[in-house]
Amino acid sequence: MASEREVRAGLQRAGQEHLLRFWAELAPGPRAALLAELAPLEPEALREHCRRAAAACALPPGPPPDLAARLQPLPPERLGSVSRSDPETRRRWEEEGFRQIALNKVAVLLLAGGQGTRLGVAYPKGMYRVGLPSGKTLYQLQAERIRRVEQLAGERRGTRCTVPWYIMTSEFTLGPTAEFFKEHDFFHLDPANVVMFEQRMLPAVTFDGKAILERKDKVAMAPDGNGGLYCALADHHILEDMERRGVEFVHVYCVDNILVRLADPAFIGFCVLRGADCGAKVVEKAYPEEPVGVVCQVDGVPQVVEYSEISPETARLRASDGGLLYGAGNICNHFFTRGFLQMVTRECEPLLKPHVAVKKVPHVDEEGNLVKPLKPNGIKMEKFVFDVFQFAKNFVAFEVLREEEFSPLKNADPADRDSPCTTRRALLAQHYRWALQAGARFRDAHGAWLPELPSLPLHGDPPAVCEISPLVSYAGEGLEVYLQGQEFQSPLILDEDQARVLQPPES
C-alpha cells in the first residue's frame, strides 16, 4: 500500500491536501483506512474531477438556448410499439426473443449501486418489501422472473437454458446484496450464474472544487452514476465473462421498477430482428410536464434529453395523431449487443460527459465537528447509462404500456407517486387484470360480483387483492388452466403450490 508521504505528495499535486488535515489526530486503524481510500485516487484525475465539478455547477441552469431548434422526435422507422402493432408481429418478436434465450445468448444486467436515500432506508433498494401479500422483495420478484423466462424458453425449444444475471453494485450495496442472496439461497438460481461486481466511487466536491471529508478518516464518496457501468464492465472483465458464456445480447435495467420484465422476449426479439446494436424501452409520457427524460434526437443523433432541459412550450407540442411530439419517456430499460458494449468500453467511455447532482453531503468542519447540512452543499458527478445512445449505429426504441411495465420505487410513503403504496398497487392491479383476462371472477365480502375489465380503473386500488407469483406466470400467460371459470374472494395469492392445487386433474 502507498505510504503517507506518497499519498500526501499526490494530494498536493491535485490541490486536495486538506483531506489529510486531521492525520495527526488519527489512530493507526483509521489512518490505514484513510490511506487505503486515498491511494487509488490518481492525482491528475482527482484534480480534473474536482475542477470539472466546480465548473459544471457554475453553469447557468436550464436548457441550452438553441436546443429547441436541434430537437426532433425519433423517426417512426426507429420505433416499435406493443400496443400499436398487430398480434402476428408481436408473436414474431416474442418467438425470436425466446429463440435467443433458448440458445443461451441473452443475459440481464441489473443497475443496483444507488443508496435509495429518497426511500429512506439504510439497505439496498432491491431488498425492499413494498407490502405485497407474499412479502416478496424486489430482488425475489426479479429472480423468479428470470427462472420463469428460462422455463418458458426451454419449453418452447425443448432445451434447458440459462439467463445469467449480472448485478452492478457499489461500495454501499455489494456486501448487503451478496449476504442477502446467500441468506435466500440465491432464490433457487445457480450462484454461478449470478455475477456481482462493483462500480467505481468518486469524491463529492464543494462548490469551490474541494473534495469533501465525511469524517476525519473518510472522504465523502458516491457511486459514479449508472453510467459507471462501462468502466465497471472493463474493471471486472464482465464482457469477457459474457463472451465465455456465449452471451450476445444484454438487457440492462434499473432495480426499482417493480413491473420490469427481465430478458423480455418481445423486446429482445424486436431489437434482434431490427438488427439494433442499442435499444431503449419507453412509455408514453402521462402529461407534458412529467419529470422523465425523453428519448428523441438532437442534431439527428439519438439521446435522452432531461425533462429540465425541455422548455414547457416544446414539451406541450403535439404530433399529427394528437399524442405528445416528445412523449417517449425513458424508463432506464435498455438493450445492448455485447459487441456494442465492447466498443463503448474500449473507445467511447472517455467521451461521456458527467452530469452534476447537487446534494446535501454530511461533512466535518475545520474543527472536526460533524455537520449535517440543511441545504445542498456539495456536488456529486454522475454518468448516465443512456449517454451511449449517440454511439449506436442502429438505435431503436420500443414503446410499452406503463400499467404493464413501469412503476418505479423512489420515494417513501406517503408520497403520491413512485412510493411503496403506488408500486404495490400497480403490481396488484396488473395481476387482477391478468386473472380477469384468464376467466376468473371475484366476489366481495358480501357475495356481490366485483367489476370486470371494461370498468376497471387503471389507477387506485383494484377491487380485489390478487397476487400471482412470477413462477406461475411471467406476463399473464398460461393462467386459464388455473383460473378459467373459477370464483374467488379477495385475497387470491397464486403461487406455485396453490397453482398445483387449483390445476384440474388431467382426464
What CATH number is attached to the domain comprising 491?
2.10.10.100
CB-based contact 251:267 (threshold 8 Å): yes
d(CA 474, CA 494): 13
Does residue 415 sit within a domain?
no
The confidence score (pLDDT) of residue 399 equals 98
Does residue 15 sit within a domain?
yes
DSSP state of 75: P
Pull the grid cell for residue 455.
370498468
The confidence score (pLDDT) of residue 66 equals 79
Pull the grid cell for residue 279.
435499444
What is the per-residue pLDDT across 373-422, written as a single tens digit (0 to 9) for each? 999 999 999 999 999 999 999 999 999 999 999 999 999 999 989 999 99
The confidence score (pLDDT) of residue 227 equals 95
- Region for 144 from its dihedrals, namely left if φ exceeds 0, alpha if ψ lies in -120 to 50, beta otherwise: alpha
d(CA 464, CA 475): 19
Chain centroid to Cα 489, Å, comes to 35
Domain that includes residue 443, residue range? 420-502
Q: Which of 422, 425, 465 lies closest to 445, judged by CA?
A: 465
Same-domain check for residues 213 and 162: yes
Same-domain check for residues 496 and 466: yes
Does residue 147 sit within a domain?
yes
The confidence score (pLDDT) of residue 170 equals 93
Same-domain check for residues 208 and 265: yes
CB-based contact 254:226 (threshold 8 Å): yes
We report the CATH number of the domain holding residue 136 as 3.90.550.10
- Pairing mode, strands 221-223 and 201-203: antiparallel
pLDDT < 50 positions in the chain:
507
Same-domain check for residues 136 and 183: yes
Same-domain check for residues 47 and 128: no
Same-domain check for residues 33 and 87: no
d(CA 333, CA 278): 11
CB-based contact 469:494 (threshold 8 Å): yes
Same-domain check for residues 122 and 177: yes
d(CA 38, CA 10): 9
Does residue 241 sit within a domain?
yes
Same-domain check for residues 21 and 125: no
d(CA 218, CA 237): 28
Chain centroid to Cα 227, Å, comes to 11
Does residue 366 sit within a domain?
no
Same-domain check for residues 396 and 449: no
The confidence score (pLDDT) of residue 507 equals 43
Q: Which of 339, 369, 404 is the last residue of a domain?
A: 404
Same-domain check for residues 214 and 109: yes
Same-domain check for residues 425 and 457: yes
Same-domain check for residues 303 and 424: no
Does residue 68 sit within a domain?
no
Q: Which of 237, 243, 312, 267 lies closest to 85, judged by CA?
A: 267
Q: Which of 414, 462, 114 lies closest to 256, judged by CA?
A: 114
The confidence score (pLDDT) of residue 152 equals 98
Lookup result for grid cell 458494449: 341
CB atoms within 10 A of CB 494: 26
Please, is 76 exposed, middle or buried when counting C-beta atoms within 10 Å of its C-beta (0-12, 13-18, 19+)? exposed
Amino acid at 94: E
Domain count across the chain: 3
Does residue 363 sit within a domain?
no
pTM of the model: 0.93
DSSP 415-448: -SSSSHHHHHHHHHHHHHHHHHHTT-EEE-TTSP
Does residue 133 sit within a domain?
yes
